[in-house]
Amino acid sequence: MRLQTSFRTAFRALLRNKLRSLLTALGIIIGVAAVIAMVGIGNGAKKQVEDQVASMGDNALMVFSGSSSRGGMSGGFGSAGTLTLEDAFAIKREIPGVQGVTPEVEGSARISSGNQNWFTRLNGVDADYFSIRMWSFTHGGPFEERDVKAYAKVAVIGKTTALEMFGSEEEALGKIVRVRNVPFTIIGVLAPKGASFFGRDQDDTLVVPYTSAMKRVLGVKTIPRITVSVERGKSVAMVVEQVSNLLSQRHRLPGDREPDFSIRTQEELANMATATSKTMTTLLGFVASISLIVGGIGIMNIMLVSVTERTREIGIRLAIGARGSDILVQFLIEAVTLSLLGGMIGIGLAFLAATLIMRFSPMPVYITAGPVLYSFAFSAAVGILFGFYPARKAASLDPIEALRYE
């Protein structure tokens, strides 16, 4: 029998039981849609991180103050206060290939202006910070070296904070905000960056000179973090090595002791973040694949019913000269058509789901050709695999018995 004729026969048999065909294919439809959407969500998260690396500078590295641990409780990176401003100056002064250095102090703060107030993150940084982190401005501009030296009461505000406090970004410029009763004048509004790797809103911030932050607001002497950017074309790893040596010297650490600081490159942080999403993607894809297999079992079930129902038809076909292989191919094509149609509808459904997810949630979904092809091929394979047994059963029927079947 011609393949073309076989496909037509299969289509007709499926159209005869439209609802049943649809319900049978539903398992595959949901399976395929789930695989594509899940992997799409995973890839979206990964791509977001990659975009952030690009936006934050893959040439940056961070030095964290050693973690304090008392009685088995770890305070996390930067909690011990082993880094000083002098460490930051020394890095800038002594290590070649360093483009910018900024000490960073951080604290939560309630800020107010008029009758508005908002709980935000206060960042104290050097003037280099904005170029290291590739922040740009929608209004106004950054503070400068002399502002830092003068303990100036100037601030740069993130988009989220500006909207919460003043209703719009334009309004924020030139306004005065009080941070623990210290008035700061807003001289710039940062362009938005969205959520960080770890889900924190980077635009919810108030950035002030570290001098002002340390002395006027937070009252601290040590700094939890130093961010360093490396000149283009220079090896990040080399700078990491040199910073490590320099700080060990300055902190007078004997060679065999654990250093009281740690260094992470931007890339390492990104990898940490993507490792989680990769595991999730694999896991979700795997679970969704199981639903494809369940869909295949549904196809097998219905094909077995169909073979029994159409025993007489099979008998007629065999009597007038169909070979066993003709019958096998006919039923196999029916099963494959069912699973491929399911696959195609599933792909459509996945794109629809992606559009809806992106419309109604902040989650990015990034559908690539890979999972689409994979799940389409997988659904074809499922059709062949689970269609084979019923088809073989049909093909091996005895024509005399089949013709007698009521």
Partner 1 sequence: MAPIIELEDLHKTYESGEEPVHAVRGVSLTISRGEFVAVMGTSGSGKSTLMNILGCLDRPTSGGYRLDGIQVSTLPRDQLSDLRNRKIGFVFQNFNLLSRTSAVENVELPMLYRRTPLSAAEQRRKALQSLEMVGIGKRAGHTPNQLSGGQQQRVAIARSLINDPVLLLADEPTGNLDSRTSIEILGIFQRLNDEGITILMVTHEPEVANHAKRIIVMRDGRIRTDNLVANRLNAAAELGRLPAEGGA
For position 313 contacting partner 1 by CB under 8 A, the verdict is: yes
Interacting residue with partner 1 among 16, 20, 146, 221 (CB under 8 A): 16
Please give the Cα distance from 123 to 146 (Å, whole number): 18
Length reported for the chain: 406
Q: Which is nearer to partner 1, 315 or 343 (CB)?
A: 315
Q: Is 107 in the site for partner 1 (CB under 8 A)?
A: no
323 interacts with partner 1 by CB under 8 A = yes
Of 15 and 73, which CB lies nearer to partner 1 in the complex structure?
Answer: 15
- How far lies 76's CA from each of 83, 85, 109, 123, 236, in Å? 14, 20, 20, 18, 24
Distance, CA of 344 to CA of 84 (rounded, Å): 61
The one segment of 1-9, 131-139, 208-216, 219-227 that binds partner 1 by CB under 8 A: 1-9
291 burial (CB, 10 Å; 0-12 / 13-18 / 19+) is middle
> Which tokens in the block code for residue 287?
């679970």
Going by C-alpha positions, the residue among 372, 280, 301, 285 that lies closest to residue 27 is 301
Contact residue for partner 1 among 74, 168, 235, 325 (CB under 8 A): 325
And the tokens for 305? 């019913």
Min dist CB 21 to partner 1, Å, is 15
Q: How far is the CB of 10 from partner 1 (least distance, A)?
A: 13
Does 308 sit near partner 1 (CB under 8 A)? no
Distance in Å, CB of 399 to partner 1, minimum = 5
Stretch that binds partner 1, among 33-41, 54-62, 83-91, 311-319 (CB under 8 A): 311-319
Please name the residue ranges forming H helices in 173-309. Answer: 210-212, 236-250, 266-309
Q: Which of 309, 350, 366, 290 is nearest to 50 (CA)?
A: 366
> CA angle 92-94-99, nearest 5°?
40
What is residue 83's DSSP assignment?
Answer: B
Nearer to partner 1, 128 or 334 (CB): 334
Q: Is the four-CA dihedral 346, 350, 351, 352 of positive or negative sign?
A: positive
- Amino acid at position 62, single letter: M
Smaller CB distance to partner 1: residue 267 or 326?
326
Among 317, 345, 367, 376, binds partner 1 (CB under 8 A): 317
The least CB distance from residue 24 to partner 1, in Å, is: 19
Structure tokens at 165: 């406090």
Q: Which of 93, 110, 200, 312 binds partner 1 (CB under 8 A)?
A: 312
Q: How far apart are CA 362 and CA 348, in angstroms?
A: 22
C-beta of 314: minimal distance to partner 1 in Å? 11
94 vs 243: CA distance, rounded Å: 9
Q: Rounded to the nearest whole angstrom, what is the least distance from the CB of residue 340 to partner 1 in the complex?
A: 23
Contact status: 319 vs partner 1 (CB under 8 A): yes
Query: Is residue 5 involved in binding partner 1 (CB under 8 A)?
Result: yes
- Residues 22, 167 contacting (CB under 8 angstroms): no
Residue 4: CB minimum distance to partner 1, A: 9
Q: Is position 17 an interface residue for partner 1 (rule: CB under 8 A)?
A: no
Instruction: Pick the closest to residue 377 from 349, 336, 329 (CA basis).
Output: 336
Are 203 and 159 within 8 A, CB to CB? yes
326 binds partner 1 (CB under 8 A): yes
Of 272, 259, 263, 253, give the one whose Cα is nearest residue 228: 263
Q: In the window 380-399, what residues touch partner 1 (CB under 8 A)?
A: 399
Residue count, binding to partner 1 (CB under 8 A): 21
List the one residue from 324, 349, 380, 388 that touches partner 1 (CB under 8 A). 324
Q: What whole-number distance in Å separates Cα of residue 114 and Cα of residue 166? A: 10
Nearer to partner 1 (CB atom), residue 133 or residue 317: 317
> Using the rule CB under 8 A, is 200 a contact of partner 1?
no
Please identify, using beta-carbon distances, which residue of 73 and 320 lies nearer to partner 1: 320
CB nearer partner 1, residue 325 or residue 355: 325
* Single-letter code of the amino acid located at 401: E
71 or 321: CB nearest partner 1? 321
Q: From CA 180, how far away is CA 176, in angstroms rounded?
A: 13
Segment interacting with partner 1 (CB under 8 A) among 25-33, 57-65, 154-162, 322-330: 322-330
| Residue closer to partner 1 (CB basis): 195 or 319 | 319
Q: Which residues bind partner 1 (CB under 8 A)?
A: 1-2, 5, 16, 312-313, 315-326, 399-400, 403
